[in-house]
A and B are shown apart, each in its own frame.
Chain A
Amino acid sequence: MARFAMVIDTRQCVGCMDCVVACKTENGVPEGFNRDWIVQDVNGVFPTLHMEIRSERCNHCDNPPCVYCCPTGASHVHDLGGVVLVYREKCIGCKACLAACPYDARFIHPDGYADKCTFCIHRVEKGLDPSCVAVCPTYCMYFGDLDDPLSEVSQLLTSRQYHVLLPETGTKPQIYYLLPRW
């Protein structure tokens, strides 16, 4: 089995949104919507500040509330890598998954179905990185298999400090944010 995950080095990320633009062209995401986005988290009082910049998206949770709440089975866990996907033809656009997702990662596509990040599974199945990872000019993103202890993502998570978003929700998110090293 494989367990796909994304590891993002917040030390490198400049928040340029190339990941967002690339996702939009790669996946034809309609105007006014996006599957990934940038957060700039600022704490402190000028000039003693700490800032973390994150590229965020669906966390492809190991414990995905959007899948559990889906009344039609449209939201599901893909055979490969534990990726959370939506069968468009099964989706009735009821928005239960939008309400269930603590990360606000989903939206209703103008064609009526719930849409979100797919980890670019169509690329991954061809051996390519997801589009956001492949374009990033700072090389801050890594994609790979956590079931493989030798993969880059596994190695990074054993050698660096990291955090995930909203761990308290129990969703077991699979996007990991590396902390700066100084």
Chain B
Amino acid sequence: MNPITRRRFLKITGTSLGAAAAAKTLSVLPGTANALEKAAAPSGVQVVPTFCDMCFWKCGALAYVRDGKLWKVEGNPEDPLSRGRLCPRGTGGVGAHYDPDRLTSPLLRRSSRGREEWVSVTWDEALDYIAERLQAIKAKYGPEAVALFSHGIGGNFLKHMMRAYGSPNIAAPSFAQCRGPRDVGFRLTFGEDVGSPERTDIANARCLVLIGSHLGENMHNTQVQEFSEALAAGASLIVVDPRLSVAAGKAKWYLPVKPGADIALLLAWMNVLVSENLYDREYVAAYGFGFERFAAEIEPFTPEWAYPETGIPPEVIRETAREMGRYRPATLVHPGRHATWYGDDAQRSRAIALLNALLGSWGRKGGFYYPQSMDVPAYPYPPYPKPEKGKVDNSGHKYPFADETITTGIREATISGKPYPVKGWLVYATNLIHALPNEAETIRALQELDLLAVVDVIPSEIAGWADVVLPESVYLERYDDLNVEWFRQPFIALRQPVVSAPHNQKPNWWIARKLADKLGLGEYFPWNSIEEYLQYRLDKAGYSLDELKQKGMILGPKRPIYFDEGVPAEFATPSGKIEFYSLQLAERGFDPVPKYTRPAEPPPGYFRLLYGRAPVHSFSRTQSNRLLMDMLPENDVWLNADVAARWGLKSGDYVRMKNQDGVLSNRIRVKATQRIRPDCVYMVHGFGHTAKGMSFARDKGASDAQLLTRYQTDPLMGGTGMNVNFVTFELEG
């Protein structure tokens, strides 16, 4: 190439360079030619906009195809979520397409369940098998006897098919094993939850408080970008975590809380804000309900009271509370996401909501904004049949505030046959063996089934237990439903095929439609192709599919997102106000203001097992992705360095963990570190695969899920608190 010619060309055409460019001694200006490059992609390179599926965040992406092969994936600069930059998993999405361990053909079980012995069959054979059994179950037990477990937007068409079939039992682990308690706690307080992507205004926060939330290790892209932005702008950061997380390493205040004592800390913070008159009195007076009773309830919970519970000195609790008060209402106490810790999680989340309410951050800049969306009508399907029986997961409304379906409730009903039998499970894109606590219970439930069908892209553990496995094309090879997003600026995004599926994989919409046909439910899929479906919805909304195909997304108008921009301060609670004191909780026998209960201590020689995320992996779904496994091929167990020394362990040694019920983990490498309290250990979730087909990931690291034999169920909403297991070590010889 001739750089001089190229540089001159850039200098002339780089319109964004402005006058400053002329003064530069260097004629190549790094980072200025993105738009130009995209306008004139090198020959043989096509750029296709789509949105990511490496996690649930749905970032807008540009996929590059070179000589007909997938080359790389970058963020779409037009996209408000990625803002042109993906996280490492999104960048590593290329590895999902090329994954040599992918499922390639429909499989039918040919020996007993869980032995993973298969025969490859055609799609017709596989779907006929499923349809026949679904019809038989419906005839004998009714359609309610089939449950669908589904994660992510890809499940939309299968959910539609299940509703057409007549089952109300549709669940995702994202409720009872993840964000459910948080959403319930916030709804009880503000009448609304924080949604996904969370409505947290991190970018504008002047004080950010993270409680166990390890932003930067969990890579919810926009959250991490805004976290970095807030730090750059000098925001004060307070991090509460038993482990010095990446975020804690950047904090002005790091509070190494005793695991499980978060509610004690939250109560003490609120006590300081009220007793020192640091809360937003006007806001509370205007929008609050039951503040006086709330204030009376928290009065005993001083920093001195909280000290022995939390291990955080009273003066630190006071100083951090004052720091929050100083920056309110732009103080954001982050609600977290994976909130299923100790079984009192909805109440802990409510305490976080109440702390935010005292700071006046809900509806305010730097706190929680009001997300906006665009109106894209649903496809006009015939009405669904009304199930004769109610949902199976929560009989008698045992968990009165569960407003989504409880996965573990379905599992329990499947085992007990009560309130009615469940005989079929369809599973889409969620590895239930790793996602639900107590693997043995899941396997017991599977024994009761007449049908277990799994749709996945990789041969996960749950696929290993299936009667039929259906191989799905990865997101870079398929259309999905539109993403009509709720965000600061509303937008519609399209996922579209970038490259073809390499084998006999099919997209979920095709699978759902074909299966519906075989079930005699063809009227529920009146469109002939997904493009016809998408075009219909977009036409109704006044947009064009062609435009979306070209740009990947259509942005909607910016509207007010804060109270002071004109958003009405309305709260969908029974009182119509922010409920400092909750009568609906009191009526059902729960604490109207959150209370602290001390969690059980680990027995001598045992440590509390904590788990979390690595930035390069999503759940147990990415451990066969070679690009991402190059970044983190196995997990470690983090152990306080002084404790490790007492055990004679050093970093790199392998151990097995044994939990309180005698369950022994796969071998796992020790990370002896000062970055964790001596009373707990930590590991990244998603490793320790056992499925035969996961040839690369199998036996690499250990599975936390396997060790979570116990869980504490949240009495408000049925979530499974999973930080209640204790482990000790068995040394490798």
Q: Is A148 an interface residue (CB 8 A)?
A: yes
Report B235 CB to chain A, min CB distance, Å. 11
Neighbouring B residues of A143 by C-beta, 8 Å: 30-31
With A45-B674, A148-B25 known to touch, is A135 a contact of B85 (CB < 8 Å)? yes
Please, what's the 1-or-0 string for A73-116, where 1 marks a CB less than 8 Å from any CB in chain B?
A: 00000001000000000000000000000000000000000000
Interface centre among A47, A50, A134, A148 (most CB of B within 10 A): A47
**Beta-carbon contacts under 8 Å, A38-79 to B:** 42, 44-47, 49-51, 53
Q: Is A138 an interface residue (CB 8 A)?
A: yes
Report A51 CB to chain B, min CB distance, Å. 4
Give Cα A139 to B230, complex, Å: 12
Give Cα A12 to B34, complex, Å: 23
Q: Is B631 an interface residue (CB 8 A)?
A: yes
Q: Is A165 an interface residue (CB 8 A)?
A: no
Which of B26, B86, B615 is the one whose CB lies under 8 Å from A151? B26
Which of B234, B627, B675 is the one whose CB lies under 8 Å from A46? B675
Report B612 CB to chain A, min CB distance, Å. 14
Give Cα A87 to B131, complex, Å: 61
Give Cα A125 to B249, complex, Å: 37
Does A46 lie within 8 Å of B676, measured CB to CB? yes
Q: Is A8 an interface residue (CB 8 A)?
A: no
Give Cα A32 to B86, complex, Å: 22
Does A21 lie within 8 Å of B26, measured CB to CB? no
Does A34 lie within 8 Å of B37, measured CB to CB? no
Does B640 lie within 8 Å of A46, measured CB to CB? yes
Does A126 lie within 8 Å of B33, measured CB to CB? yes
Neighbouring B residues of A18 by C-beta, 8 Å: 85-88, 91, 615
Chain A residue nearest to B674 (CB atoms) is A46
Neighbouring A residues of B29 by C-beta, 8 Å: 127
Report A165 CB to chain B, min CB distance, Å. 19
Neighbouring B residues of A144 by C-beta, 8 Å: 30-31
Does B630 lie within 8 Å of A136, measured CB to CB? no
Please, what's the 1-or-0 string for A112-136, where 1 marks a CB less than 8 Å from any CB in chain B?
A: 0000000000001111111001111
A-B contact count (CB 8 A): 183
Does B224 lie within 8 Å of A16, measured CB to CB? yes
Q: Is B401 an interface residue (CB 8 A)?
A: no
Neighbouring A residues of B34 by C-beta, 8 Å: 128, 134
With A32-B630, A47-B244 known to touch, is A21 a contact of B30 (CB < 8 Å)? no
Neighbouring A residues of B24 by C-beta, 8 Å: 145, 148, 150-151
Does B216 lie within 8 Å of A16, measured CB to CB? yes
Please, what's the 1-or-0 string for A1-19, where 1 marks a CB less than 8 Å from any CB in chain B?
A: 0101000010110111110
Interface window among B70-78, B106-114, B516-524, B547-555: B70-78
Interface centre among A126, A147, A151 (most CB of B within 10 A): A126
**Beta-carbon contacts under 8 Å, B61-84 to A:** 71-75
Neighbouring A residues of B23 by C-beta, 8 Å: 150
Does A21 lie within 8 Å of B628, measured CB to CB? yes
Chain A residue nearest to B59 (CB atoms) is A137
Chain A residue nearest to B640 (CB atoms) is A46
Does A128 lie within 8 Å of B86, measured CB to CB? no
Neighbouring B residues of A125 by C-beta, 8 Å: 1, 3, 6-7, 28
Give Cα A80 to B3, complex, Å: 9
Give Cα A20 to B91, complex, Å: 10
Q: Is A172 an interface residue (CB 8 A)?
A: no
Interface window among B250-258, B377-385, B408-416: B250-258
Chain A residue nearest to B214 (CB atoms) is A14
Which of A20, A25, A80 is the one whose CB lies under 8 Å from B72? A25
Neighbouring A residues of B284 by C-beta, 8 Å: none
Q: Is B102 an interface residue (CB 8 A)?
A: no
Neighbouring A residues of B246 by C-beta, 8 Å: 14-15, 51, 53
Report B325 CB to chain A, min CB distance, Å. 20
Is chain B's binding surface mostly helix, strand, loop or mixed? Answer: mixed
Which of B30, B36, B231 is the one whose CB lies under 8 Å from A124? B30
With A21-B616, A139-B225 known to touch, is A16 a contact of B88 (CB < 8 Å)? yes
**Beta-carbon contacts under 8 Å, B221-257 to A:** 221, 224-225, 227-229, 231-232, 234, 244, 246-247, 249-250, 252, 254, 256
Interface centre among B23, B26, B244 (most CB of A within 10 A): B26
Q: How many residues of A contact B (CB 8 A)?
A: 54
Q: Is B419 an interface residue (CB 8 A)?
A: no
Does B30 lie within 8 Å of A16, measured CB to CB? no
Neighbouring B residues of A150 by C-beta, 8 Å: 20, 23-24
Chain A residue nearest to B633 (CB atoms) is A32
Neighbouring B residues of A26 by C-beta, 8 Å: 72
Does B232 lie within 8 Å of A11, measured CB to CB? yes
Does B25 lie within 8 Å of A2, measured CB to CB? yes
Does B616 lie within 8 Å of A80, measured CB to CB? no
Q: Is B329 an interface residue (CB 8 A)?
A: no
Q: Is B197 an interface residue (CB 8 A)?
A: no
Give Cα A123 to B697, complex, Å: 34
Give Cα A60 to B241, complex, Å: 39
Which of A49, A50, A128, A140 is the one whose CB lies under 8 Å from B31? A128
Q: Is B297 an interface residue (CB 8 A)?
A: no
Give Cα A134 to B30, complex, Å: 10
Does A137 lie within 8 Å of B87, measured CB to CB? yes
Report A117 CB to chain B, min CB distance, Å. 15
Does A17 lie within 8 Å of B88, measured CB to CB? yes
Neighbouring A residues of B631 by C-beta, 8 Å: 17, 20-21
Does A135 lie within 8 Å of B86, measured CB to CB? yes
Chain A residue nearest to B232 (CB atoms) is A12
Interface centre among B72, B73, B640 (most CB of A within 10 A): B72
Does B26 lie within 8 Å of A14, measured CB to CB? no
Neighbouring A residues of B249 by C-beta, 8 Å: 42, 49-51, 53
Q: Is B448 an interface residue (CB 8 A)?
A: no
Please, what's the 1-or-0 string for B286-329, where 1 marks a CB less than 8 Å from any CB in chain A?
A: 00000000000000000000000000000000000000000000
Give Cα A126 to B28, complex, Å: 7
Give Cα A4 to B25, complex, Å: 13
Does B33 lie within 8 Å of A145, measured CB to CB? no
Neighbouring A residues of B676 by C-beta, 8 Å: 46
Q: Is B94 an interface residue (CB 8 A)?
A: yes
Neighbouring B residues of A34 by C-beta, 8 Å: 630
Chain A residue nearest to B250 (CB atoms) is A11
Neighbouring A residues of B585 by C-beta, 8 Å: none
With A18-B86, A20-B631 known to touch, is A138 a contact of B31 (CB < 8 Å)? no
Give Cα A107 to B574, complex, Å: 65
Q: Is B10 an interface residue (CB 8 A)?
A: yes
Which of A25, A49, A127, A139 is the one whose CB lies under 8 Å from B28? A127
Give Cα A17 to B224, complex, Å: 13
Give Cα A34 to B628, complex, Å: 12
Give Cα A4 to B10, complex, Å: 18
With A21-B628, A46-B244, A46-B674 known to touch, is A16 a contact of B14 (CB < 8 Å)? no
Given A25-B72, A180-B250, 16 additional A-B pairs, CB 8 A: A9-B232, A14-B247, A15-B246, A18-B91, A20-B88, A21-B91, A46-B641, A49-B254, A51-B249, A127-B14, A127-B28, A129-B31, A133-B30, A134-B34, A140-B228, A145-B24
- What are the nearest 9 A-B pairs in CB distance? A14-B216, A127-B33, A51-B249, A138-B228, A16-B615, A129-B31, A25-B72, A47-B256, A18-B88
A interface residues with partner B (beta carbon < 8 Å): 2, 4, 9, 11-12, 14-18, 20-22, 24-26, 31-32, 34, 42, 44-47, 49-51, 53, 80, 124-130, 133-140, 143-145, 147-148, 150-151, 180-182
10 A-B contact pairs sorted by A residue (CB < 8 Å): A2-B25, A16-B216, A16-B224, A21-B91, A42-B673, A50-B249, A127-B36, A128-B31, A145-B24, A151-B26
